[in-house]
Amino acid sequence: MILFFGTRPGKTETKQLPHVSCPYCEQTGTLIISRTSNWFHIFWIRIFKVSSKKIAECSHCKRTYFENEFTEEMEKGLIQIES
């Protein structure tokens, strides 16, 4: 019997970060968070979430921020939209 398992990305969710300013162009409310989750699969059935990856993009200056570049303000905004 062959077992098929592995991880693959789920769908990407995007959310706007309100009241948070972009550290680069200093515009407020322009940051969009994209979150992609990786799922562990066995026979194409989702078993559990392995990890999720977040990036932020500014719709004004088009700058992309990876999770390790998020400012404290962005982290706080994220907690607000996730709760």
**What residue ranges bind Zn ion (CB under 5 A)?**
22, 24-25, 58, 60-61
Kind of pairing between the strands at 45-58 and 5-16: unpaired
Nearer to Zn ion by Cβ, of 41 and 60: the residue is 60
Q: Where are the alpha helices (DSSP H) in the chain?
A: 72-82
Provide, rounded to whole angstroms, the least separation between the CB of residue 31 and Zn ion.
7
Provide, rounded to whole angstroms, the least separation between the CB of residue 53 and Zn ion.
21
Contact residues for 12 (Cβ-Cβ < 8 A; gap 6+): 34, 35, 36
Provide, rounded to whole angstroms, the least separation between the CB of residue 27 and Zn ion.
5
